[in-house]
Chain A
Amino acid sequence: MQHMTAAPGLDRELKKGSAELLILSLVEDQPRHGYDLSKLIETRSGGRLTFRVASLYPLLYRLEKRGWIQGRWIEKAGQRRRRYYRLTTAGAKVLEAQRHTWREFVDAISRITGVEHA
Chain B
Amino acid sequence: MPEWPRRINEEMRQHLDDEYAALRARGVSHDDAMRTLAGDVEAAASLRPRPVDSLTADVRYALRGLGQRPGFTAVVMLTLALGIGATTAVFTVVDAVMLRPYSYADMDRIVALAETTRAGQTMSIAWQNFQDWRAQSGVFDALGLYRPMVVNLTGGAQPERLVASLASADVFRALGIPPIAGRAFSRDEDGVAAARVALVSERFWRSHFNASADAVGASLTLNGEPYTIVGVLPEGMRFPSRLTDVWLPLGLFVPTFPADRGAHPGLFAIAKVKAGISIEHATAEMDTIARRLEQQYPLSNSEHTVAVVPYYEQIVQNIRPALLMLMGAVAFVLLIGCANLANLMLAKAEGRQRELAIREALGATRWRLFQQLLTESVLMALGGGLLGVLVAWWGVKAFVASGPSTVPRLDLVAVDLRVLTFALLVSLGTGIAFGLAPALRASAVELAAAMRDAAGSRATAERLRSLLVVGEVALAIVLLTGAGLALRSFAALTAIDLGFDPSRVVTLRVALPNARYPELPRWIAFHRELAARAAAIPGVEAAGLNSAVPLESGGAESEVRYEGQPLPKSVHEDATMCLFQAVTPEYFRAMHIALVRGRGFGAHDTADAPRVVVIEQSLADKFFGAAANPLGKRIAFEYSGGHGPMAQPIWREIVGVVGHVHHYGIADEPDNMQVYAPLEQLPIYFRERRPNMTLFARTALPPESLVESVRGVVSALDADVPVFSVQPMAAYVGQATEQPRLNMTLLMLFAALALALASLGIYGVLSYIVGRRTHEIGIRLALGATRADVLRLVVGQGMTLAVGGIAIGIAAAWGLTQLLRGLLFGVSPHDPATFAAIAALLASVAFVASYLPARRATHVDPVCTLRAE
Contacts and interface: CB of A to CB of B under 8 A. Distances in A.
B43 A53 contact: yes
B40 A57 contact: no
A52 interface: yes
Contact of A52 (B7, B8, B18, B40): B40
B14 A38 contact: no
B10 to A, nearest CB: 8
Interface in B1-40: 4, 7-8, 11-12, 14-16, 18-19, 39-40
Contacts of B39: 52
B139 to A, nearest CB: 76
Contacts of A83: 7, 11
B7 A54 contact: no
Interface string B752-771: 00000000000000000000
B162 interface: no
Contacts of B46: 54
B11 A57 contact: yes
B699 to A, nearest CB: 69
B866 interface: no
B658 to A, nearest CB: 80
Nearest to A55: B43
B12 A35 contact: no
B667 interface: no
Contact of B12 (A57, A80, A82): A57
Contacts of B8: 57-58, 61
A38 B7 contact: no
Contacts of A31: none
Contacts of A61: 4, 7-8
B14 A58 contact: no
Interface string A33-72: 0110010000000000000111111101100000000000
A90 B4 CA distance: 22
A102 B39 CA distance: 32
Nearest to B10: A83
B11 to A, nearest CB: 5
Nearest to A82: B14
B68 to A, nearest CB: 8
B40 A53 contact: yes
A83 B8 CA distance: 10
Interface string A74-102: 00000010110000000000000000000
Nearest to A83: B11
B47 interface: yes
B299 interface: no
A35 B43 contact: no
B40 A54 contact: yes
Given A34-B11, A83-B11, A53 B4 contact: no
A53 B18 contact: no
B133 to A, nearest CB: 81
Contact of B43 (A34, A54, A60, A82): A54
Contacts of B40: 52-54
A54 B15 contact: no
Most central of B8, B12, B40 by chain A CB within 10 Å: B8
Contacts of B15: 34-35, 38, 53, 56-57
A38 B18 CA distance: 11
Given A35-B18, A61-B4, A54 B47 contact: yes
Contacts of A60: 11
Interface residues of A, number: 15
B7 A53 contact: no
B44 to A, nearest CB: 5
Contacts of A57: 8, 11-12, 15
A60 B4 CA distance: 11
Nearest to A61: B8
A56 to B, nearest CB: 8
A61 B9 CA distance: 11
A55 B46 CA distance: 11
Contacts of B16: 53
Contacts of B18: 35
A32 to B, nearest CB: 13
B355 to A, nearest CB: 12
A98 B116 CA distance: 107
Given A61-B4, A83-B7, A54 B12 contact: yes
A32 B80 CA distance: 43
Contacts of B43: 52-55
A56 B8 CA distance: 10
A101 B12 CA distance: 31
A87 to B, nearest CB: 18
Contact of B44 (A34, A54, A80, A82): A54
Contacts of B12: 53-54, 57
A58 B11 contact: no
B404 to A, nearest CB: 52
Interface string B810-847: 00000000000000000000000000000000000000
Nearest to B41: A53
A58 B47 contact: yes
B4 A80 contact: no
A83 to B, nearest CB: 6
B117 to A, nearest CB: 79
A43 B25 CA distance: 17
A54 B19 CA distance: 14
Contacts of A38: 15
A35 B13 CA distance: 11
A83 B14 CA distance: 10
Contacts of A35: 14-15, 18-19
Most central of B15, B19, B47 by chain A CB within 10 Å: B15
B71 to A, nearest CB: 15
A3 to B, nearest CB: 9
Nearest to A38: B15
Interface string B37-62: 00110011011000000000000000
B358 to A, nearest CB: 10
B20 to A, nearest CB: 11
Contacts of A53: 12, 15-16, 40, 43-44
Interface of A: 34-35, 38, 52-58, 60-61, 80, 82-83
Given A52-B43, A54-B44, A57-B11, 10 more contacts: A35-B19, A38-B15, A52-B39, A54-B12, A54-B43, A57-B15, A58-B8, A60-B11, A61-B8, A83-B7
22 contacts: A34-B11, A35-B15, A35-B18, A35-B19, A52-B39, A52-B40, A53-B12, A53-B43, A53-B44, A54-B46, A54-B47, A55-B43, A56-B15, A57-B8, A57-B12, A57-B15, A58-B8, A58-B47, A60-B11, A61-B4, A61-B8, A82-B14
Q: Which 5 A-B pairs have the closest CB atoms?
A: A54-B43, A54-B44, A53-B40, A35-B18, A57-B8
